[in-house]
Structures are given as C-alpha cells and as structure tokens.
Amino acid sequence: MIVRKLSEIINTERDVKAENGNWISRRFLLKKCGMGFSFHETKIFAGTETLIWYKNHLEAVYCVGGSGEIELIDTGEKFQIEDGTMYALNENEKHYLRAFEDMRMICVFNPPLTGKEVHDENGVYPIIKEN
C-alpha cells in the first residue's frame, strides 16, 4: 500500500513548477508506482492563461477549490470550472485553462506521467518510454 502526504512532496522532485509560473503540480503517483495512471494535485494561479494539449495522454481533472474556465480551441466552447466540477479530456482536446482565482485541481493521467515531462510550446507532454 502507498500512503503519501502533501507535506512529504513539497520541495522534492515530485513538486513541479511550470516554467511560465502558471501552475505547480504535486505528483502523488507516477508511472513507477505501477498503478497504470498518475495522480497529481495542481494549483493554477489566479489570472493565468495556459495553453494545454495532452495529445498523448487522457486527463481527468476534479476542481476542489477556486474557479476558472476552459476554452476549447477547435470549437470556441467555454466551460466554467469551480469547486465540485470534473472535466475529462477524453478526446485530447486542445484548450486554454484560465484561472479567475487560485484553483486546486486533482488530476489523473493515462498513460501515467513519469515526472520528467515538460510542456512544449503547444502545451503538449511527450510520451516517455522509461519509468
């Protein structure tokens, strides 16, 4: 059994900060944990806009604090996100994520992240073969 506390993750290599400063992601479970998915808590900072396109991954996100919106690039559709809202990028939708307030998001990735991925200029995480 794996038990992990946020306080054990903060300021370790599992505590990942976006290069543009828009978010931080605490990785509770990564590929090497063998669960078949990775499990993160992400804080998205108020006033930020992030272009995200997980074309290699499926991601589900549950907002447990704050508010913001998603805008899908292909259709222009907007979805309001607040405490208690879940969204799943089941078709690898390219989108903007805008935070109106600091947002706390619980995120699951399939396939799991290894922890070494970095968003490229399109907000894409590459597939990494090793653990």
Sites of contact with ligand 9YT (CB under 6 A): 23, 25, 40, 42, 52, 59, 61, 97, 105, 107
Q: At closest approach, how far in Å is the CB of 3 from ligand 9YT?
A: 20
Q: In which element (H, E) is residue 79 found?
A: strand 78-82
The answer to whether 40 and 30 are in contact (CB under 8 A) is no
Strand partners, 40: 27, 107
State both tokens at 33.
């944990």
Which of 9, 52 has the CB closer to ligand 9YT?
Answer: 52
Which of 19, 130 has the CB closer to ligand 9YT?
Answer: 19
Q: At closest approach, how far in Å is the CB of 118 from ligand 9YT?
A: 10
Q: In which element (H, E) is residue 23 found?
A: strand 23-29
Q: At closest approach, how far in Å is the CB of 98 from ligand 9YT?
A: 11
The answer to whether 85 and 5 are in contact (CB under 8 A) is no
Which of 96, 129 has the CB closer to ligand 9YT?
Answer: 96
